[in-house]
Amino acid sequence: MGPLQGVRVLELAGIGPGPFAGMMLADMGAEVIRIDRAGSVRGGDPAAPPADVLGRGRKSIGIDLKSDEGRELVLDMVASADVIFEGFRPGVAERLGVGPDECMARNPKIVYGRMTGWGQEGPYAHASGHDINYISLAGALEPMGRRGEAPVPPLNLVGDFGGGGMFLAFGIVCALLEAKASGEGQVVDAAMVDGAATLMGFFHGFRAMGIWNDERGTNMLDSGAHYYDVYETSDNKYVSLGSIEPQFYAELLEKLGLSDDAGFLDQNNRNGWPELKERIGAIIAGRTRDEWDEVFAGSDVCYAPVLSMSEAPEHPHAKARDAFIEIGGVTQPAPAPRFSRTKPVAESPAAHAGQHTDDVLASLGVDTDRIAALRESGAIA
């Protein structure tokens, strides 16, 4: 049932990192109710759910936050919730009347999560932006790429999801634990620029120790090293090598037939890396990816084939761990991490906006007359 069973979360609908945090909390067993804008409610067949992986595991209610009745309804819901989170620009929730002060006045124990790119204050706080901008300012994008080439955006994994939604979910759970001890809620200010900077902590340490070169693509972990990179195979696919430790590196050389080659003995001589990369690349290009799978199978080379999104769920290791599931006809990652007792289970697909409005309100004790009046006024949809 998941370790967060019994926790009620209100999610003011947004995009990207907010829904990702909502998915994480729902995957862990929290009851997450997504509050969609009334204007976005278009109906929809429950038997044909949206193919929105990040929207799985929660119910949706359509509310007009700009109406007095809608705002009051949200605050009524806050009274029985443990968490509410939003992804608006700074000040928007306050203007709608559902900011931290209003919510905590209704429920002093509420954890109020805020998800933004730049944070609640600072020169950029009110500026528009996307993942690529947040990780740029955080110093996370500049090091990513090959030598002599421009930085390469790592999808929107580092800002939106790693530095954003995951940090929001972590902050919410931390605040929930503290609230149980203190009896008081608090605001969680999760900013993607902060999270992305935190993810770079390891490399700031390397730089301080003098073992990180600011020139892109010339370090051990940024495609500079011949033993830590991806290589193209003869069938135009790729394999990954990560043979950092000496014993793993020795096994790599043995598998490649290079154990007696003096050029490879000085593993960490950076001056030799470009030439050694070319030589390994030529060897890898001589066989298919499947053939290299056979060569490296069961070894400690630190090897894996580079799989596509369609291939990954079919790999034997993924199948053995049930790493992917299917919900509503959509193949998607299973909940993570795993627990020995309170096993997370993702069962329901994303909901259409407002699909559960009446059911949710009834479960919260709102009587049918008030539901009818709210619908008549346009406060709910």
Identify whether 130 is a catalytic site residue. yes
| Residue 298 CB neighbours (<10 A) | 6
Q: Which residues of 148-157 are buried (b: 16+ CB within 10 A; e: fewer)?
A: eeebebbebe
Among the listed residues 27, 64, 160, 194, the single catalytic one is 160
Among the listed residues 52, 130, 189, 293, the single catalytic one is 130
Identify whether 226 is a catalytic site residue. no
Q: Round the CA-based radius of gyration of the chain to a whole number and report it.
A: 25
Measured CA to CA, the distance from residue 253 to residue 241 in angstroms comes to 12
Q: Which residues of 255-270 are buried (b: 16+ CB within 10 A; e: fewer)?
A: bbebeeeeebeebeee
Which residues are known to be catalytic?
130, 160
